[in-house]
A and B are shown apart, each in its own frame.
Chain A
Amino acid sequence: MADLMQGKVALVTGGSSGIGRATALIFAREGARVVVSDVVIEGGEETASLIREAGGEALFVSADVSQAAQVEALVAKAVQAYGRLDAAHNNAGVEGSSMMTTDYTEADWDQVIAINLTGVWLCMKYEIPHMLKSGGGAIVNTSSAAGLLGFRRGSAYVASKHGVVGLTKTAALEYAKSGIRVNAVCPGAIDTPMMGRLTDHRPHRAAKMASFEPVGRMGSPQEIAESVVWLCSGAASFVTGHAMSVDGGLVAQ
């Protein structure tokens, strides 16, 4: 165990798999007590067990981040269980349908925006008051390389992730003087269950995805998680309002 997050309480949404699970595990490795949340109960419970098996402290709370009442209850349960909230990784997201802008249906669109963008806003809406009470905190929102660049057949995802960057900057400015830092992380192609769905679990499609990466490989969930946890730590005390690319050079092209 290291000590980047010693004595702190961290909340991770989308913590049942992929990047969220990796962040929850690394928060715990660095000494934080972790509240894991997701709509996928089995995976979320498993993440909490993995943390406890490694000697850490964790709690799973089921919540759909697109529902205000559920987000409010989630944050309240976190504070009730551990007494405070110091760090939050608002990470829950969906990829949505893969189709051209004109073919997108309102139902497809609404779901992606509700989870990826409104969900991040709702999380901050209920997290920030608790951080203000305890004198500060740090938030990292999961955007994407698609929060900085366009991608064909991903209009709702791209719009939601661009929105997360703008929302992150705005919240960062609003709470900069109150000791709350707000940053976004922009992952490139990462080897997660979401990526598995996007490549239809076919190796040649995954290889093609990796070939878009200047480093020639996909990133691992742990590589994003290390950035997120570092951004939440005291070492990043002057970093706020930043959209941090962790993408093997993808957006530098």
Chain B
Amino acid sequence: MSRLCRLAFLALFVAFAASPAWAEDLAALVPGLAGDSFADKEKAIIALGKLGDPRAVPILKAMTDDRLRRGPDGRVIVILTTGGTARVTDAVTGNGLKDVSADSLDRILVNNRLRGQIEAALGSLTMFSTDRATRLAAVQDMLKHPSPDAAGPLEKALAAEQDPEIRAAMQRSLAAVHLFAGTKAKQVAAVQMLGTTTDPQIKNLLDEFRNKSDLAPELRKAAEDALHSIDNRLRLTGLAANLFQGVSLGSVLLLAAIGLAITFGVMGVINMAHGEMIMLGAYAAYVVQELFRAFLPAGWFDAYLIVAVPVAFLAAGLLGVVLERCLIRFLYGRALETLLATWGVSLILQQVVRSIFGAPNKEVSNPSWMTGGFDVVGGFTITWNRLYIIVFCFIVLGVLALILNRTNFGLNMRAVTQNRDMARAMGIRTARVDALTFGLGSGIAGMAGVALSQIGNVSPNLGTIYIVDSFLVVVFGGVGNLMGTLVGALSLGIINKFLEPLAGAVLGKIVVLAAIILFIQRRPRGLFALKGRMAEG
């Protein structure tokens, strides 16, 4: 026993020497955690929170997790359980205590009130952490329960903080603290400061503040103004977020529909297997990803997506050409039968993929340059993968427009579309143009699959999710018209996203479907119908 005491003394001394001011306080405060009444414990917790010593963090955490014990000599002991075995350590020094059994110690009880205090104290303590994310989380956490006790540590932390984002968050949290426990001048400043933010949490705080009974009228006025400006800003960011979501959904629809706009719109072939071309593209991305994982160094992994795009294009495009040569060319002029036959193809493709890869979802991970996102304004985040898909979608559309309007193949394609017989008479090999056009449409569907693999899971029935929507986009926009497809996809995406908060996701979608059905009744040839001689066919 005496040896142990000496050891503890030594450890205490060392700690003392290292950081005298803190060590003394920590050592003095920790035994308070083992106090007899909850009030004693609470005092100790608050004091530890104010102290700002990061070593208190594991002790407080242990306290909430019921791993804190009181030794026979009143010493506070932390039990660490690593890998199933419990290790008993002294709370203040962190040294292991070998001859103390965990079972013989008294538990230090906590109640919910204490838990709340511990959380607040942990919040102010972790503000000093060396890890940026932990600091940020701690500061943001303080906004949830701004307690007057946090003011001191916050000011201390703000003085030391370098990171601008965390500084801003700290200033907001500090303002929130001042709001409820500051002088009047500080309160006014805090209200004004908080009025410039867009955080719904701050809105709730201000709302709470406004409804306080003993509030000076000018403060109430200021709070109401601040709330008003927050509301306005929230509405704007909500609008922007909806718009972005809508454009994002629209671009996904557009990617899925561009290929269809070619096969259905330009060639007039109803390809129900179009969705499966998308699915194959997604699986191509998966296969390329796995190959990169297996055979190339980890540093190269981020490049897999760049490789996956052409691979998916070629795989789906080749399949498209084969499909056209072996099946669809026999069915030209029999649109309904083409519909049925390609549906059969889609069933077979789904089952093939299911047999090879299995029915469960496959996960295709984002390369690092596509993960995460950035905050535009508070509460409105743009994720990189969605942004890249929008960009990718417009690149595909642009390249396609170039191919159609500036290349020989595009010229032939348009000629065959407009007047097949005349084109043949002019020496265009229409059969070849048909096959290549179909391959192009399918290849684009394959690239759409790569894009879709970045925002969702890859499964054998991925295509069926998009097929009805893609057809509606093409029909809505007007068949045989890429511009119509663009406008159709974007407007459907945006309408869908704006309806979602009003009616819920499923009902919103039903409303959109019903609206399109009604729209087609009004304009059977879509938004951008071909006019004049083209329309006569």
- Do A and B pair up? The answer is no
Chain A residues proximal to chain B, CB less than 8 Å: none
Chain B residues proximal to chain A, CB less than 8 Å: none
